[in-house]
Structure 1
Amino acid sequence: MAAPDSDTTPDTNSPDTTPDTNSPDTTPDAVPHSGPVPPTPPAQETAPVPRWHRHSDGAVLLDGFHALKHAVRFGAEVEVAVTADRAAALALADELAPDVLEALAALLTEVPYATYASLVPRPHPTAVAALAVRPSRAGNLAGLARTPRTAPVVVLDQPRNLGNAGAVIRLAAGFGATGVVTTGTLDPWHPTVVRGGAGLHFATAVERLSVDELPAGPVFALDPEGEDIRALRLPDDALLAFGSERSGLSPELRARADHLVALPMRPQVSSYNLATSVAMTLYHWSAAGGAPV
């Protein structure tokens, strides 16, 4: 019944080159537009490339339409946004996110495709990219420390895979978790993590901390030797901790844990993917009366 909380995804901190075929980010950008394309406002007619380079140091790269959409929806301060096809991007907004259509129309500047491609590590199918101000660490730490909490904090203990970390942040935002904390060397604001999270870093608190700096609350750590999660009720103020994709829980995190918890698993199946483990655990919490999703 116990389920390892690690997965077999190769350990790498380099950008994932696997196409995001299961992500809504692969929505074709040639969607018929149902109305006239809003004109580019005068403020956006100034050269976007110098603005891009001026703000690139320390900014968060929003890679793709959906990352920009979510960032705007959750209050990100966007410094500059470009696209190789403004009409197509606004058509997507009109169809999929009309609530942010006006904001995107004010932000997006069209540039030649070659110019757009020169600004990003890997061109996105929607040919949209933006730079946003990273939320303040002080604000995130205050949100993580605030009590009483109405939703758990997800802790990724020394994660290794950027794509998995992004998928977890996307899950946590969807379930209304208080935040996602990573320990170890992986930067949870790395562009590949933000891409994997579809811009939902701005919908929850995301920070890197040491085990000693974790916010207060009972730690429920996923471990093959733990108690079957189906026998437990996870409290709203819990810290839900998951080990690295290869090594499981670190000794420091295991020592900090108040409870070891195992996911049910068929014999001879070695592991679940990290994001899958987080999804099952958050669903178990929410099904018992957690925050609405």
Structure 2
Amino acid sequence: MSGSSRTDGAGDRGPRSGEPTEPVRVWHGLADTSVLLDGFHALKHALRFDASIPVALTSDKAAVLALAQDLAPDVSDALDALLAETDEATLRALVPRLHPTAVAALAVRPSRGGNLRALERTPRVAPVVVLDDPRNLGNAGAVIRLAAGFGATGVVTTGTLDPWHPTVVRGGAGLHFATAVERVDVGELPKGPLFALDAEGEDIRGVEIPDDAVLAFGSERSGLSAELRARTDHLVALPMRPQVSSYNLATSVAMALFHWSSGRPPKAQA
């Protein structure tokens, strides 16, 4: 989308004062403590799943609303009310890398306590996905997007990676708000039978994954940690051709969640 100049004073600077306008001031005040939503699709998903979004900016509001009419008419009115327009130079100065849709917003991160309660609530109707000491931010974001699509109860990470890092949120396309996402220690994993993916495990095709399962996946480089392996109830393996060493992390999660969901009746869409 191309940038457009403002003539009504709603952009970066007031028409005479040279001061930032209110949406930009709000952005500066919240940027260090908020979740950055990069692009139209991230903002769309966050709105659909009731994220609290205090400010959203674009350099071309008309183009964004036209895109919404084509792709997401259900959020058009919310976008119209929320979006403030600023010039492209200001927008680029506020974000590390401007999304091609020229949209950026700040959202309030859900409380850790609320997420932990959601992860611990029983009975569960869908598994919790565990990423054991993941290293790749993009992979973590892709897993969160997958988990949200399958309706998983949540995604938790162990280790040092922050699952709310801006790069992870970008990879998740705003779907962090559709499921519970937190970082925990192995000893704090949600209750439930722990199924861990490992090449030495039983073929997953012969295993029934219950709704209250905790599905654990090792890191891309070193696999399952010794601590998590010691807590595992069931080691399961994905089918793999001999001499193929591994699958991408997100691919592994997708196959495991599809196996869990297969045979279950389709759920009504909200």
* TM-score, reference length from structure 2: 0.91
User: Within 5 Å, which residues of 2 pair with 1:65-84?
Assistant: 65-84=40-59
1:167 matched to 2:142? The reply is yes
Aligned length: 254
Q: Deviations over 1:63-104 (max 9, x none)?
A: 110000000110000010001111111111111111110000
The whole-number CA distance in structure 1 between the counterparts of 2:218 and 2:179 is 21
User: Within 5 Å, which residues of 2 pair with 1:117-156?
Assistant: 117-156=92-131
The equivalent residue for 1:14 is none
The structure having more radius of gyration, on CA atoms, is: 2
Partner of residue 288 from structure 1, selected from 240, 263, 269: 263
1:48 matched to 2:18? The reply is no
Shift of 1:288: 2.9
The whole-number CA distance in structure 2 between the counterparts of 1:290 and 1:139 is 29
The equivalent residue for 1:16 is none
Q: Deviations over 1:148-205 (max 9, x none)?
A: 0000000000000000000000000000000000000000000100000000000000
4+ long deviations beyond 6 Å: none
Structure 1 SS opposite 2:90: helix
Q: Deviations over 1:15-44 (max 9, x none)?
A: xxxxxxxxxxxxxx48xxxxxxxxx9x9xx
Partner amino acid, structure 2, of 1:276: T
The whole-number CA distance in structure 1 between the counterparts of 2:107 and 2:30 is 9
The equivalent residue for 1:231 is 206
The equivalent residue for 2:177 is 202
The equivalent residue for 1:19 is none
The whole-number CA distance in structure 1 between the counterparts of 2:32 and 2:155 is 24
- The unaligned stretches of length 5 or more in structure 2 are 3-7, 15-20
**Seq. identity, %:** 75
Structure 2 SS opposite 1:160: coil
The whole-number CA distance in structure 2 between the counterparts of 1:214 and 1:269 is 31
CA contact (8 A) 1:175 1:291 kept: no
The whole-number CA distance in structure 1 between the counterparts of 2:265 and 2:241 is 27
RMSD: 1.7
Shift of 1:48: 1.7
**Structure number with higher relative contact order (C-alpha < 8 Å, ≥ 6 residues apart):** 1
The equivalent residue for 2:194 is 219
Partner of residue 33 from structure 2, selected from 36, 58, 74: 58
* TM-score, reference length from structure 1: 0.84
The whole-number CA distance in structure 2 between the counterparts of 1:159 and 1:139 is 23
Shift of 1:55: 1.1
Shift of 1:290: 7.0
Partner of residue 269 from structure 1, selected from 239, 244, 247: 244
